[in-house]
Structure 1
Amino acid sequence: MKALRQLVLSLAVLAGGLYIWITYVPAARPLLERAGLLDLLGVEAAQNDAAGQGRSGRPSRGVAAVITETVGEMVGEDRITAIGDGRARRSVTVRSNAVGVITDLSLAAGGYVESGAVIVKLQNEEETIALEQARIQLEDARAEEVRIKRLQASGATTEVRLRETELALRSAELAVRQAEFDLSQRQIAAPISGWVGIIDLEEGDRVNAQDVLVTLTDRSEILIDFRVPERAVRNIKVGQAFEVTPLGVSDESLTGKISAIDSVVDRASRTLLVQGRVANDADMLRAGMAFSVNLTFPGDTLLAIAPLAVQWSSDGPFVWVVRDNKAVRVTVDIVQRNSGEVLVAAEGLSAGDQVVTEGVQTLREGAEVKVAPPDQSASVARDSQ
Structure 2
Amino acid sequence: MIFIPRRFMPGVKLRFSMTLLTATALLLSAYASMALAQDDRRVLVVTESLSFEQQVQRVDAVGSARALRSVTLYPAVADRVTEVNIVPGQWVTQDSVLLRLDNRRQRVALDRARIQLEDAQRTVDRLQSSLERRAIAQSELDDATTLRDLAQIAFDEAETEYEDRIVRAPFDGVVGITDIQVGDRINEQTAITTIDDSRQLYIDFRAPESALALIQHQGLLQVTPWQQAGESIAAQVVEVDSRFDIANRTIRVRAIMNNDNQRFRPGSSFRVSLQLNGEYFASIPEAALMWGPTSAYVWTVEDQRANRVDVQIKQRLRGRVLIDGDLEPGQTIITEGVQSVRQGQQVRPESESYEPSESAE
1:175 is paired with a residue whose SS is: helix
Task: Select 1:350's aligned residue among 327, 336, 339.
Answer: 327
CA contact (8 A) 1:124 1:183 kept: yes
2:183 is paired with a residue whose SS is: coil
TM-score (norm 2): 0.68
Query: 1:151 and 1:282 mapped to 2: Cα distance?
Result: 65
Q: Which residue of 1 aligns with 2:316?
A: 336
Verify: 1:72 aligned to 2:60, yes or no: no
CA contact (8 A) 2:81 2:182 kept: yes
1:266 is paired with a residue whose SS is: coil
Q: Which residue of 2 aligns with 1:119?
A: 98
Q: Which residue of 2 aligns with 1:230?
A: 209
Q: Which residue of 1 aligns with 2:36?
A: 46
Query: Residue 330 and residue 160 in structure 1: after superposition, are their counterparts in 2 closer, same or farther (change >3 A)?
Result: closer
- Please report how far the alpha carbon of residue 202 of structure 1 lies from its aligned counterpart in structure 2 after TM superposition: 1.4
Q: Which residue of 2 aligns with 1:94?
A: 73
CA contact (8 A) 2:61 2:205 kept: yes
- Please report how far the alpha carbon of residue 371 of structure 1 lies from its aligned counterpart in structure 2 after TM superposition: 8.2
CA contact (8 A) 1:238 1:260 kept: no
- 202-211 or 118-127, which deviates more: 202-211
- Please report how far the alpha carbon of residue 63 of structure 1 lies from its aligned counterpart in structure 2 after TM superposition: 8.8
Task: Select 1:276's aligned residue among 250, 255, 268.
Answer: 255
- Please report how far the alpha carbon of residue 325 of structure 1 lies from its aligned counterpart in structure 2 after TM superposition: 2.9
Pairing 1:6-17 to 2, within 5 Å after superposition:
none
CA contact (8 A) 1:76 1:336 kept: no
Verify: 1:304 aligned to 2:283, yes or no: yes
Query: 2:100 and 2:214 mapped to 1: Cα distance?
Result: 53
CA contact (8 A) 1:334 1:342 kept: no
Query: Residue 152 and residue 326 in structure 1: after superposition, are their counterparts in 2 closer, same or farther (change >3 A)?
Result: closer
Deviations 1:304-344 (A, max 9, x none): 24x6x95799xxx9987544335789999793337xx9334
1:233 is paired with a residue whose SS is: helix
Q: Which residue of 1 aligns with 2:242?
A: 263
Between the two proteins, what is the percent identity of the paired residues? 29
Return the letter of the residue paired with 2:263. Answer: M
Query: 1:74 and 1:205 mapped to 2: Cα distance?
Result: 68
Query: Residue 261 and residue 238 in structure 1: after superposition, are their counterparts in 2 closer, same or farther (change >3 A)?
Result: farther
CA contact (8 A) 1:239 1:259 kept: no
Task: Select 1:213's aligned residue among 171, 192, 196.
Answer: 192
Query: Residue 46 and residue 199 in structure 1: after superposition, are their counterparts in 2 closer, same or farther (change >3 A)?
Result: farther
Query: Residue 372 and residue 87 in structure 1: after superposition, are their counterparts in 2 closer, same or farther (change >3 A)?
Result: same
2:36 is paired with a residue whose SS is: coil
Q: Which residue of 2 aligns with 1:185?
A: 164
CA contact (8 A) 2:214 2:276 kept: yes
Deviations 1:80-110 (A, max 9, x none): 2222233221111222122322222221112
Deviations 1:164-202 (A, max 9, x none): 333333333333333233222222211111111221111
Query: Residue 329 and residue 76 in structure 1: after superposition, are their counterparts in 2 closer, same or farther (change >3 A)?
Result: same
1:73 is paired with a residue whose SS is: strand
Structure 1: tracts of 5 or more residues without a match: 1-42, 51-61, 377-385
Q: Which residue of 2 aligns with 1:285?
A: 264
Query: Residue 132 and residue 63 in structure 1: after superposition, are their counterparts in 2 closer, same or farther (change >3 A)?
Result: same
CA contact (8 A) 2:67 2:200 kept: yes
- Please report how far the alpha carbon of residue 258 of structure 1 lies from its aligned counterpart in structure 2 after TM superposition: 0.8
Task: Select 1:247's aligned residue among 223, 226, 236.
Answer: 226
- Please report how far the alpha carbon of residue 215 of structure 1 lies from its aligned counterpart in structure 2 after TM superposition: 1.2
CA contact (8 A) 2:299 2:333 kept: yes
Pairing 1:190-201 to 2, within 5 Å after superposition:
190-201=169-180
1:249 is paired with a residue whose SS is: coil
Return the letter of the residue paired with 1:343. Answer: V
Q: What is the root-mean-square deviation of aligned Cα atoms in Å?
A: 4.2
- Please report how far the alpha carbon of residue 291 of structure 1 lies from its aligned counterpart in structure 2 after TM superposition: 2.5
Aligned length: 311
2:243 is paired with a residue whose SS is: strand
Q: Which residue of 2 aligns with 1:12?
A: none
Query: 1:134 and 1:224 mapped to 2: Cα distance?
Result: 49
Task: Select 1:164's aligned residue among 143, 150, 155.
Answer: 143
Return the letter of the residue paired with 1:86. Answer: A
Query: 2:317 and 2:128 mapped to 1: Cα distance?
Result: 94
1:176 is paired with a residue whose SS is: helix
Query: 1:139 and 1:321 mapped to 2: Cα distance?
Result: 98
Structure 2: tracts of 5 or more residues without a match: 1-32, 291-295, 354-361
Q: Which residue of 2 aligns with 1:3?
A: none
1:110 is paired with a residue whose SS is: coil
Query: 1:321 and 1:149 mapped to 2: Cα distance?
Result: 103
Q: Which residue of 2 aligns with 1:30?
A: none
Pairing 1:97-112 to 2, within 5 Å after superposition:
97-112=76-91
Query: Residue 323 and residue 148 in structure 1: after superposition, are their counterparts in 2 closer, same or farther (change >3 A)?
Result: closer
Query: Residue 164 and residue 343 in structure 1: after superposition, are their counterparts in 2 closer, same or farther (change >3 A)?
Result: same
